[in-house]
Amino acid sequence: MTAEPLKIGIVGLGRWAKVLTRAARKSGALSIVAGYSRSDEKRTAFQRETGVPSASSLDAMLADPSIRGVILTVPNEQHLPVAAQVAAAGKHVYTEKPIASTLDDGLQIAALERQHGVTVTVGHSARLMAGIRQIHEAIERGELGRVAFLEANFSNERALELTPQTWRWYKDRAPGGPLSQLAIHQFDVLHFLGGEILEASSIASKLSPVGAEVDDQSMTLLKFADGKVGYVGSCWTSPGIFAVRVFGSRGLMHYEIDFGTWDTPDALHRSSTLYIQRGKGGYASRETLEPRSSDMFLAELELFAEACRTGQAGELNAHNGNLALAVVYAALRSIERQGQSVRISEVLDAARARVEKVAGRAV
């Protein structure tokens, strides 16, 4: 007999909650059974559109013993306080990326696991795309030889649409603009493909005519523990793109998706590009590969369900979520230092010290 789907709640009922709810409907591993937002209007609209009953309050949702975990799609600065409530109720936590708006908050979210005996899953879904997995498999097989260089870009036109009424307008809510909102996906992907990242150096610029507080252009160089180097670019004033390229001594691989299909990941493979270029051959010798079908949102939700069932965090864990966020904050510090390289351990150690100091005062 197959296990019954786990009952899951969801908090924050905007666009992304609807994307994840659509993905969850395809799964036999979990079922979203309750939704909550502080807005009556959003609760009503979400229930009408998805058929998921709305909870009268977060406390009411958390009091339901049948709900094993809760998905958070609230604004980034609310991740810690809401996650703390969820974990204190003994429910497993899934939070959209980034794990938090600050590294201090992210470390405190990670600490909820040992404080309350729950798991934390972070929605870094990009590493679950079939094309990314196929590149990783080729690296593991040695098909590319020694990998020495990685490059990635994630860009879209969001900065052309910002207004003071949108939270991404503000530096304290979207630090670095596309750096914390888009490039963070690629920091996680390159960590997955390339291993430990030691340091980052970054430059940024503000070119959107709308006048937002945040930068809207970002370029970051990475150095890995084994000597690899990498680059992540993110432009917030251009048509959408998500692309990754990995260079090895025996070959290179390139993967690119049609950003227009981001919200429908089960269709990504139909319009994405994946190729391998081997040996000394040039452009004409590239071998086009068939990207497998996949659904990164369904995959991440089922990883969450597995964490809820086993009590063991999977690869989308708080540690990896905080590493990606630490690269963002190293890049931000580098921008402040006019492009000087900043070690990831420097920002992690500083954040840990601040968290421990606050905890000591609380005691």
Instruction: Tell me the pLDDT tens digit for each residue of 325-361.
Output: 999 999 999 999 999 999 999 999 999 999 998 877 6
| Domain presence at residue 280 | no
pTM: predicted TM-score of the whole model, two decimal places: 0.94
Q: What is the pLDDT of residue 262?
A: 82
Task: Collect all residues with Cβ–Cβ distance below 8 Å to 45 and sequence separation of at least 6.
Answer: 13
pLDDT number for residue 263:
81
Helix ranges (DSSP H) in the chain: 15-24, 40-50, 58-62, 79-88, 103-116, 130-141, 178, 184-194, 268-271, 296-310, 318-336, 344-362
- Residue 122 near residue 321, CB atoms below 8 Å: yes
Asked if residue 238 is part of any domain, the answer here is no
Residue 45 belongs to some domain of the structure: yes
pLDDT digits (tens, 9 = 90+) for 47-98: 999 999 999 999 999 999 999 999 999 989 999 999 999 999 999 999 999 9
Residue-level pLDDT at 2: 55
57, part of any domain: yes
The DSSP line for 56-69 is S-HHHHHT-TTEEE
Whole-number pLDDT of residue 316: 98
Domain count of the fold of the chain: 1
Residue with tokens 């904050």: 329
Cα separation, 271 vs 9, in Å, equals 33
Peptide bond into 53 cis (omega under 30): no
Consecutive sets of 10 residues in the chain, 363 residues long: mean pLDDT of each? 84 95 95 96 94 95 98 95 98 96 96 98 97 98 97 96 94 92 97 98 97 97 98 96 97 93 85 93 87 94 98 96 98 97 98 90 55
State the pLDDT at residue 193. 98
pLDDT of residue 1: 39
Asked if residue 165 is part of any domain, the answer here is no
Residue 67 belongs to domain with CATH number: 3.40.50.720
Which residues constitute the domain of residue 111? 6-125+298-318
Structure-block tokens of residue 37:
């937002």
